[in-house]
Structure 1
């Protein structure tokens, strides 16, 4: 079962904990010694920044799929380091990313160093609401998020025009996972797969929490890898077989046909699903039941147009039932994991903690004017 490391950073002793947790994650992701050291340095700098500038916060360290699934590299894994705080925010993000910037008399190399060392790096900060940072470090031969190949800009080959651009890399996915009470394993899990023009995002919430719930959600992620070519209702059918013998899970499946510009959705259980379209959020409805234990007799599959302004958010029931996305949640960053972390930050606080394992997964198109 995949580990998730939740490191609350309230004093300097937890900076070392963040570094050690990142080293363990790097081992699971297959990073070599040099890349492991890079990931550990990024985690150390980000944890130190939490103390200096936000009065503390938390690091969430996980092993995740890349935000873009390059053809032939669907099994690549990266160490993802996320910081979430409810501090004062950063007044000038661009300046904070420059070397030498400091508000505490330090060397001011933290965020700038992290941005250079990480394969992926982005952040979102709002005055009075806090800051989230997402950094990923991959194995040395793994492409960064912006390096996934497309046919755009390729010269003619053999006298013929290059193949039509591959639209799938214009769709990115990311997520965050927070175990209840600092547990080693989260009962929630998310994953995404690609089969040609189809990209499919799934979020599973194993019944209850703890290792047995984690086994159920992990089984769902593993089964998804062999179902990338199926429609969402068919995916749920395959997962029902894979989860038999486990506690079962609530599961939501969203699939984008990037060539046709169509979003398909189906879900069983209480996974929240919302899509941003036309300037507003719309709920996508799941059927009652538990995948692997009690499947509905019929499954409904919703369809909607998918365009460059669309954002899809899936979340488990660890978020408050009355949670509503903030106006800027839909486009906080081109990195969907930042959007997921902002969702987690804005839906919870020390006065309103999450009530269960909590995962948020986001699927989004990248507009042509953004890298």
Structure 2
């Protein structure tokens, strides 16, 4: 049995005033305790999260933070700190202890990253910064950092109608994203049903189109939705894809992106003949799936170095810049080459 990575009920917390710092620290400490962290490791998490949240409050534009169990490893904690500016022109310089800047995460960035078990930063002047970091207890394994995703519900909803699951087996990664029709509880019911079906059959169904067909049949008593299934063979550098409805799928590299083709319809209700397409994934390429809660008008060439970052940092950056508040949103990133 391989590894299953599932979407969570991601709760993004605004970090725009000092009261958020303590709340974020307490959330991180409680989660680390539930993950089995000892006192010293919990202390590392508390200090790093407090410092990152403080910098968002002091220096960020629209700073938000996500604290959650690491999607690839249930003994680890993941933290994403995201803002819309002012960004940093020289991240390496900002990582040096004692360096001070008015840019987001400039003060204390070196200390923050030193306390984390792993981290990556992507920053563009004028557009903002995304810091992704994870924490593991002393002598615990580290996550593979091959695949991740993030979700965000529409407006003030507490439940996201989009969901994803990623199955990893050997050199193969298979991802499913479902955008439940509409939003709220009924949309979430459809997407969670798709996730259950996928998780049960990801290892036994031979192809993405077979999985898609099974999900299509299994959503007939729900509101339905748009569904995409992508399977990446890391050793061969190949991707197989089958989609139904309005889920965007891309093979992304530093010089641009290639779209993958879905057929029109609504999973669970109406569909033309389902089809599967084969693609080549270039070295250092990334497979990205996202719901229509994100605009397709993002240009990877305007994000220098982003395709080399952690999948969670890629997903969070695209959610920040292409996401719309008028719909639930979900982004999945698979990084087959390491």
TM value normalised by structure 1: 0.77
Counterpart position of 2:66 = 60
**1:267 aligned to 243, 247, 251, which one?**
243
**Does the C-alpha gap of structure 1 residues 318 and 116 become closer, same or farther in structure 2, counting only changes over 3 Å?**
same
Residues in 2 aligned to 1:44 and 1:323: alpha-carbon distance in whole angstroms: 34
- Give how far 1:346 is off: 2.5
CA RMSD of superposed structures (Å):
2.9
**1:89 alignment counterpart:** 87
Distance in 2 (alpha carbons) for counterparts of 1:64 and 1:269: 29
Give the direction of change, closer, same or farther, for the CA distance of 1:82–1:183 in structure 2 (3 Å limit): farther
Aligned to 2:111: 113
Rate the CA distance shift 1:234–1:26 in 2: closer, same or farther, 3 A: farther
> Following superposition of structure 1 onto structure 2, how do residues 146-157 of structure 1 map, counting pairs within 5 Å?
none
Q: Unaligned stretches of 5+ in structure 2?
A: 1-6
Secondary structure (helix, strand or coil) at the match of 1:137 reads strand
Aligned-residue offset at 1:55:
4.2
Mark the CA change 1:269 to 1:26 in structure 2 (over 3 Å): closer, same or farther: farther
Tell me which of 102, 108, 123 is aligned to 1:125: 123
Equivalent pairs counted in the alignment come to: 326
**Do the aligned partners of 1:194 and 1:228 also contact (CA within 8 Å) in 2?**
no
CA distance in 2, matches of 1:337, 1:115: 16
2:329 aligned residue (337, 358, 362): 358
Structure 1: stretches of 5+ with no match in the other structure: 67-74, 149-170
Matches within 5 A, 1:198-347: 198-229=172-203, 230=205, 231-276=207-252, 279-291=255-267, 293-320=268-295, 322-329=296-303, 331-332=305-306, 333-347=308-322
- Distance in 2, matches of 1:103 and 1:261, equals 41
SS of the residue aligned with 2:201?
coil
Which range moved further: 308-317 or 182-191?
A: 182-191
Aligned pair in 2 of structure 1 residues 253, 99: CA closer, same or farther (>3 Å)? same
Partner of 2:23: helix, strand, or coil? helix
Distance in 1, matches of 2:182 and 2:88, equals: 37
- Answer with 233-242 or 118-127: which moved more: 233-242
